[in-house]
Structure 1
Amino acid sequence: MASDQTPDFSTTDLPASPTPVLKPVTTETIKTALHKGVEDFRKAPLFGLFFGGVYFVGGLVLWLIAQRVDNAGLLVPLAFIFPLIGPFAAIGLYEVSRRQEAGESLDWGAVLGAMSRQKGGQLPFMGVVMLFMALVWIVISRVTFAIFLGNSASMTNIFSSMDVLWTPEGILMLVVNAAVGFSVALMIFSVTVIAMPMLLDREMDFVTAMITSVQVVLDNLEPMLLWAAIVVGLLIVGMLPMFLGLFIVLPVLGHSTWHLYRAAVEPA
């Protein structure tokens, strides 16, 4: 059936999408996107639970790393990196929302096939960008840890004693790390919030998609920062207890992000 065929964006035969035309984003836009996200999850809960489970497993892996690592300087960046898995875990959710919006059939082969085709497109380059930013954050975190707590005997094993964090140097280290982590997270949010669903939806290069995403954030700073705060808040709630809430939180956020993108950018 023609309506069920998804373009293969891994080829170069398709014409490039036109330059994105942006629309204003308001607080009402955020509320509407969230409402539509909840509705998409309600209509296709199995897909949401599956991709939420992917995020859940990612959280457990990072938690196990944190338990086994013997270097305290790695713990804080791991906590910040965890939410960065979200945009990639949500790709399948974007496809589910796209299909529901277009009236196309929902089946596992079609959804997973659409995701598989992205490996030859521009989305992997977004992964490289995010990985680079995450590695920069880890390096900065380790450097600041060494600068402030390099002479502490507890530096190598924070699990044996948390007292080092409550010293003036430890508190200052946490403040600096939090500030740097917030800056990196904000940059990643800005370049991905619109770019990720856009690359799934359109034939364009990842640089243009990132520029468009940043432009949407800058043009609508207050509502987009509100959206960022909602994402962070819901992810924190979803991590309790033992990341189980992510089975619900991630699908809702993923579907909502798709609808936010559709509201912020004119159809191609």
Structure 2
Amino acid sequence: MSDNHLTVPAGAQNPQNKLAKPIVRQVTLEDITSSLKLGILDFVKTPVIGLTFGAFFMIGGILVTLLSFWVDMSYISYPLACGFLLLGPFAALGLYEASRRLQAGETPRMSGLFTLMWEQRRGEIAWMAFVVIFIQFLWMFKVHLLLALFLGMQGYGTFVQFAQTIFETSDGLLFLAAGHLVGAFFAVLLFAVSVVSFPILLDTELDFVTAMITSVKVVTGSPVVMVGWGLLITAILMVSMIPAFIGLLVTLPVLGHTTWHLYKRVVTFEDAK
């Protein structure tokens, strides 16, 4: 099978998908565990693909952190690194496609995966990526706003000095608490609108607004299970970031593959009447 064939999303092979109506069913714990097992299995079957995408996240996390120090804004290194990881659903397009090909009994090839990602730059997926990036920019703006409100616009010579201000002053502790509350809000928002929206757009010809609405329905329809899944993802990613984001080599591709299988279990389609 040629690489060119790999660049054609499933939805493009069936124009009726544009008229399809997404049907969301409740997510169970068994859905999560089964999808995770399949995600691990996909990683084992295609380790080179998984490690390549994992390396992208690892290097990207290191670079955004170093960038914050280089521009003397070390205080945003933590939220910036976390925010970068939330771009994962877009960057994981290649992983979704790999899982889709494996599920169809085919062998994914690296060149075809990168070509597919490049060809999505002008489609609905690009609009979805814009939404995710816009929310992340809002998050960073709120961090700056909270910093000014609680600590003023004073400069910090080193990250250690900033950390001392945060943990050894009452204003710093208030900033830390408020920052995490705001961060939690934006993290939940991003999780809700993107948890299955990118796989939907890769797999069908639906528009990005419908994909986002469907994704939100998945979360609101099973809030306990999905919030629990989101918290587990957060814990896995936090641990993976220590040290030097190296754990992302494995955890990000596994989570990417898992997301595809979770989407296929909880979202089905029927032709619009």
The answer to whether 1:192 aligns with 2:215 is no
Report the equivalent of 1:50.
Answer: 52
Report the equivalent of 1:164.
Answer: 165
Contact 1:10-1:121 at 8 Å conserved across structures: no
Q: Bigger shift: 60-69 or 210-219?
A: 60-69
The Cα offsets for residues 54-93 of structure 1, whole Å up to 9 and x where unpaired, read as 1111111112113223235533431331221211221110
CA distance in 2, matches of 1:98, 1:267: 16
TM-score by length of 2: 0.90
What are the residue-to-residue correspondences of 1:1-268 with 2, within 5 Å?
Answer: 7=8, 14-15=15-16, 16-150=18-152, 153=154, 155-159=155-159, 161=161, 162-165=163-166, 166-266=168-268
- What code does the residue aligned with 2:129 have? G
3-state DSSP of counterpart to 1:256: helix
Alpha-carbon shift at residue 17 of structure 1 (Å): 4.3
The Cα offsets for residues 20-58 of structure 1, whole Å up to 9 and x where unpaired, read as 111221011100010000000001111000111111111
- What code does the residue aligned with 1:164 have? T
Contact 2:65-2:78 at 8 Å conserved across structures: no
CA distance in 2, matches of 1:223, 1:250: 20
The Cα offsets for residues 226-255 of structure 1, whole Å up to 9 and x where unpaired, read as 111121111112112211111110110000
- What code does the residue aligned with 1:159 have? F
CA distance in 2, matches of 1:72, 1:149: 15
The Cα offsets for residues 198-243 of structure 1, whole Å up to 9 and x where unpaired, read as 1111101000000000011000111111111121111112112211
Contact 1:148-1:173 at 8 Å conserved across structures: yes
Distance 1:247 1:73, change over 3 A: closer
Alpha-carbon shift at residue 5 of structure 1 (Å): 5.7
The Cα offsets for residues 95-141 of structure 1, whole Å up to 9 and x where unpaired, read as 00000001123222322222222122111111111111111111111
Distance 1:160 1:108, change over 3 A: closer
CA distance in 2, matches of 1:22, 1:66: 40
CA distance in 1, matches of 2:125, 2:112: 18
Distance 1:71 1:157, change over 3 A: farther
Paired residues in the alignment total 265
Alpha-carbon shift at residue 9 of structure 1 (Å): 8.1
- Overall identity of the aligned pairs, in %: 39
CA distance in 2, matches of 1:10, 1:142: 41
Distance 1:5 1:180, change over 3 A: closer
Contact 1:72-1:157 at 8 Å conserved across structures: no
Structure 2: 5+ residue stretches without partners:
none
- What code does the residue aligned with 2:180 have? A
Distance 1:236 1:96, change over 3 A: same
Distance 1:9 1:101, change over 3 A: closer
Distance 1:63 1:73, change over 3 A: closer
- What code does the residue aligned with 2:164 have? D
RMSD: 2.3
Alpha-carbon shift at residue 10 of structure 1 (Å): 10
TM-score by length of 1: 0.91
Structure 1: 5+ residue stretches without partners:
none
3-state DSSP of counterpart to 2:72: coil
